[in-house]
């Protein structure tokens, strides 16, 4: 039995909720979804649903490092990055930082979005939705992984960047998440870091990354 906050009630969030309910009917599941029509469908399936923006909900309601047991991001944004931005918005100014081409080229099968975010994966194929993420092999190919992505991203040392990785843990087939303690640990690492940051959330195979630098409010005013 566990207590899970699922951020997003769309395709992936609903799949996570169904999987965790099937795994243990005693699991406490709270789905946070901003679309009212989706909230109604989730309620019809018997899920506890909070109909509001997921990042705002985390920023306002995450009480600390011990509750809930797990946070499952299931919306098309980098949840940890957006949460940290909100937590530090009163004391720091964020500046996006360009990733040097030679560094970006080392990210496996990466896609850069218009706002400079990177999605990266060791897979160049569509992974099965019920992947169990075994330690030593790829579920799809049956071969050893060429790397463990979260370990690779954490090892990056280049151009003065500090690479910080929030590891996503396998909670059930096709369901990944992290603890509040891990999320707050990342926040505390970044809070007073002068160097540019590569912040990633990643499991063994897939990840999302943002590059930025935080300036204290007084410093950002001085530069302005």
- Work out the number of other CB atoms within 10 angstroms of the CB of residue 39: 19
Collapsing DSSP states into helix, strand and coil, what is residue 32? strand
pLDDT at 151: 95
Nearest one of 129, 168, 132, 171 to 4, comparing CA atoms:
171
Beta bridge partners of 216: 92
Question: Within 10 Å of residue 172's Cβ, how many Cβ atoms?
Answer: 20
**What is the model's pLDDT at position 136?**
77
User: Which domains are seen in the chain, by residue range?
Assistant: 1-76 (3.40.50.720), 78-224 (no CATH)
CA-based nearest residue to 200, from 215, 217, 182, 216 = 182
In tens, the pLDDT along 116-175 reads 999 999 988 888 777 877 777 887 788 888 899 999 999 998 868 999 999 999 999 999
Global confidence as pTM: 0.92
Q: Of 34-43, 50-59, 99-108, which gets the smallest average pLDDT?
A: 99-108
Split at pLDDT 50, 70, 90, the class of 194 is confident
Indicate if the alpha-carbon torsion angle 180, 176, 17, 109 is positive or negative: positive
Distance, CA of 124 to CA of 109 (rounded, Å): 7
Q: What is the mean pLDDT of residues 201-224?
A: 79
């Amino acid at each position: 039995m566990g207590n899970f906050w699922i951020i997003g009630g769309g395709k992936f969030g609903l799949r996570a909720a169904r999987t965790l309910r099937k795994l243990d009917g005693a699991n406490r599941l709270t789905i946070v979804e901003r679309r009212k029509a989706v909230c109604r469908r989730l309620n019809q399936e018997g899920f506890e649903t909070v109909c509001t923006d997921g990042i705002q909900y985390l920023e306002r309601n995450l009480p600390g490092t011990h509750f809930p047991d797990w946070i499952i991001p299931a919306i098309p944004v980098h949840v940890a990055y957006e949460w940290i931005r909100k937590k530090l918005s009163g004391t720091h100014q964020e500046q996006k930082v360009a990733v040097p081409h030679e560094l970006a080229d080392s990210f496996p099968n990466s896609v850069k979005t218009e706002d400079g975010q990177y999605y990266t994966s060791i897979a160049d194929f569509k992974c099965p939705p019920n992947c169990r993420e075994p330690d030593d092999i790829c579920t799809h190919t049956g071969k050893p992984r060429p790397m463990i992505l979260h370990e690779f991203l954490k090892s990056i040392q280049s151009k003065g960047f500090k690479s910080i990785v929030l590891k996503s843990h396998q909670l059930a087939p096709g369901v990944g998440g992290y603890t509040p303690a891990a999320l707050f640990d990342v926040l505390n690492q970044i809070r007073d870091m002068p160097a540019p940051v590569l912040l990633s959330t990643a499991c063994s195979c897939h990840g999302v990354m943002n590059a930025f630098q935080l300036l204290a409010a007084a410093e950002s005013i001085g530069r302005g």
